[in-house]
C-alpha cells in the first residue's frame, strides 16, 4: 500500500513539474538590454550647430537680393576661410544654411550622426545640393570653442518643404561629450538609472539582472551582498561601483578598477540582458530622446500603405518590420521613427509599440 501511495505521489509531483515547465515555456520570455529600458542620470543629448554652405543647386540657391553677396561672402570667409565667387551667387548655385545635429550621450569619436539643414536666405530649394564640410560647435561657442563634429554630404530634401534637408550620418563625431554621471556619496560611487516608464516589477527585474550578470568581477551572490544594484522605487535604480575595498573583502587580488574606468563600468551595466516575462514577444520600443528603435521578436507588418511627408511605403505582403527598416536605412533616424509610428497608427504592425 505504501509503495502504491509513494508511486502516486511521485507521479503527481512529476505531472506538476511537467505542467509548470510547459506553463513557463508558454509565457513570452525574451531578452532586452538595460540600455533600451532606462536613461542614465547626468547623461543627456546636446545640440551642436553651425552656419554653412550648400552648393550645386542649379539655380535654386540664394539670390543677391535675399542674402547679399557681400554678407554671404564676408560671413563664410570669416567663419571657415571659404572663397565664394560672385558668379556662384548670381547664378544661384549656392545657399547659406543653418546646420544642426543632436549629439547623443556616449556617442564615440569617429561615429556618425544625422544632420538637419535649413536655408537662411531666399533659396527656393536645397534639392540636389551638397553641404560643404563644416565644423559643428556648441550653441555656446563663445564659452566652448571645441569642434564636436565635422559635417558634410548630399542632402535629402522633404518634398513638403524643399528649403529644409537632411543628411543621414552626415557628421563624424570629433569629440565625445563629457558627462557627470557618477555621483560620489561618502565612500560610494553611484550610477543612477531612470526607467523609461514607471514599473516596480521591471525595476526589480533590472536590478536583479545587473546583480546576476557576473560582469563586475564578482559572483552574483557577492554582488547581491554588496548591494551593487537595487531598485529605489518604480522608476529609479541605483548601481554602486565596486571599489578596491569591496574586492579585497572577498580576497580578490586581480580585478578591474571600475572607479578609475567609469565608462567601462557603465557600458557593462547598459549591455546587461534583462529577461522580460509576460510582455508581448513582438515588441517595438521607440526612444524619442535618443532616436533609437529597438525591435524584439518577429514583428510583422500587414499589407497596406503608410506615408510620412515625402516618404511613402506600400506593403504588398506581410513583411518583417526589421526588413522594412533595412530597406529604408538611408533615411534619417527621425523619419524612420515617424514611419514606424505611421505604420502603428494605421494598424499595420502586428505587435506592441511603445514610445518613450
Nearest in space to 97 (alpha carbons), one of 58, 49, 59? 49
pLDDT at 74: 64
DSSP three-state, residue 235:
coil
CA nearest neighbour of 123 among 100, 98, 97, 87 = 97
Contact 71, 19 (CB under 8 A): no
**Separation in Å, CA 221 to CA 225, 227, 228, 246, 286:** 6, 10, 10, 13, 34
Instruction: Kindly give, in sequence order, each residue whose CB lies less than 8 Å from that of residue 138, ignoring residues fewer than 6 positions away.
Output: 46, 48, 144, 146, 148
Q: What is the pLDDT of residue 285?
A: 83
Whole-angstrom Cα distance, residue 237 to residue 239? 7
Residue holding cell 564615440?
A: 108
pLDDT of residue 22: 37
pLDDT at res. 277: 66
| pLDDT under 70: residue ranges of the chain | 1-31, 64-90, 159, 277-282, 308-311
Q: What is the pLDDT of residue 294?
A: 81
3-state secondary structure of 180: coil
Task: Please list the alpha-helical segments (H only) found in the chain.
Answer: 2-26, 69-80, 86-90, 200-211, 220-226, 244-249, 262-270, 321-327, 333-345
**φ/ψ bin of 7: left (φ > 0), alpha (ψ from -120 to 50), beta (otherwise):** alpha
pLDDT for the residue numbered 31: 65
pTM above 0.85, yes or no: no
- At residue 20, the pLDDT reads 36
Query: C-alpha angle with apex 303: 168 to 299, nearest 5 degrees?
Result: 65
Q: List pLDDT tens digits, range 32-49.
A: 788 888 888 887 788 999
Q: What is the Cα–Cα distance from 109 to 87, expressed in whole angstroms?
A: 38
Taking the CB of residue 67, how many other CB atoms lie within 10 A of it? 22
Q: What is the pLDDT of residues 128-142, one digit of tens each?
A: 999 999 999 998 877
Which long-range CB contacts under 8 A does 314-317 form with residues at least 24 apart? Answer: 315/348
The Cα–Cα gap between 104 and 45 comes to 4
pLDDT at 7: 47
Q: What pLDDT is stored for residue 309 in this prediction?
A: 65
Strand pairing partners for 101? 48
* Contact call for residues 239 and 228 (beta carbons, < 8 A): yes
Cell of 99: 546646420
Yes or no: say if 351 and 324 are a contact pair by the CB < 8 Å rule: no
Pairing of strands 112-119, 161-173: antiparallel
Per-residue pLDDT, 16: 39
Q: Are strands 292-296 and 283-287 parallel, antiparallel or unpaired?
A: antiparallel
Beta bridge partners of 5: none
The answer to whether 134 and 80 are in contact (CB under 8 A) is yes
Q: Which residues have CB under 8 Å from 85's CB, separation 6+?
A: none
Selection from 128, 175, 133, 172 nearest residue 152 by Cα: 133
Amino acid at each position: 500500500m505504501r509503495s502504491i501511495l509513494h508511486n502516486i505521489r511521485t507521479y503527481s509531483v512529476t505531472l506538476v513539474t511537467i505542467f509548470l515547465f510547459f506553463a513557463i515555456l508558454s509565457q513570452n520570455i525574451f531578452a532586452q538590454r538595460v540600455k533600451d529600458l532606462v536613461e542614465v542620470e547626468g547623461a543627456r543629448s546636446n545640440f551642436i550647430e553651425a552656419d554653412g554652405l550648400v552648393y550645386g543647386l542649379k539655380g535654386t540657391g540664394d539670390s543677391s537680393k535675399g542674402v547679399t553677396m557681400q554678407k554671404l561672402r564676408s560671413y563664410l570667409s570669416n567663419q571657415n576661410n571659404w572663397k565664394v565667387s560672385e558668379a556662384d551667387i548670381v547664378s544661384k548655385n549656392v545657399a547659406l544654411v543653418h546646420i544642426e545635429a543632436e549629439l547623443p550621450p556616449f556617442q564615440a569619436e569617429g561615429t556618425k550622426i544625422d544632420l538637419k539643414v535649413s536655408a537662411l536666405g531666399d533659396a527656393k530649394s536645397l534639392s540636389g545640393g551638397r553641404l560643404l564640410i563644416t565644423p559643428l560647435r556648441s550653441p555656446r561657442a563663445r564659452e566652448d570653442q571645441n569642434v564636436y563634429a565635422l559635417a558634410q554630404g548630399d542632402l535629402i530634401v522633404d518634398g513638403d518643404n524643399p528649403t529644409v534637408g537632411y543628411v543621414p550620418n552626415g557628421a563624424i563625431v570629433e569629440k565625445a561629450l563629457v558627462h557627470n554621471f557618477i555621483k560620489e556619496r561618502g565612500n560610494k560611487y553611484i550610477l543612477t538609472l531612470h526607467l523609461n516608464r514607471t514599473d516596480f516589477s521591471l525595476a526589480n527585474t533590472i536590478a536583479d539582472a545587473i546583480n546576476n550578470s557576473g560582469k563586475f568581477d564578482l559572483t552574483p551572490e557577492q554582488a547581491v551582498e554588496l548591494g551593487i544594484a537595487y531598485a529605489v522605487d518604480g522608476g529609479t535604480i541605483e548601481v554602486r561601483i565596486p571599489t578596491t575595498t569591496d574586492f579585497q573583502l572577498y580576497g580578490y587580488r586581480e580585478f578591474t578598477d571600475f572607479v578609475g574606468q567609469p565608462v567601462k563600468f557603465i557600458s557593462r551595466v547598459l549591455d546587461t540582458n534583462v529577461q522580460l516575462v509576460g510582455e508581448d514577444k513582438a515588441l517595438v520600443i521607440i526612444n524619442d530622446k535618443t532616436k533609437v528603435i529597438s525591435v524584439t521578436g518577429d514583428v510583422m507588418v500587414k499589407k497596406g500603405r503608410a506615408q510620412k511627408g515625402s516618404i511613402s511605403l506600400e506593403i504588398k505582403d506581410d513583411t518583417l518590420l526589421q526588413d522594412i527598416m533595412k530597406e529604408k536605412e538611408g533615411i534619417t533616424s527621425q523619419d524612420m521613427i515617424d514611419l514606424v509610428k505611421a505604420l502603428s497608427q494605421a494598424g499595420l504592425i502586428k505587435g506592441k509599440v511603445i514610445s518613450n
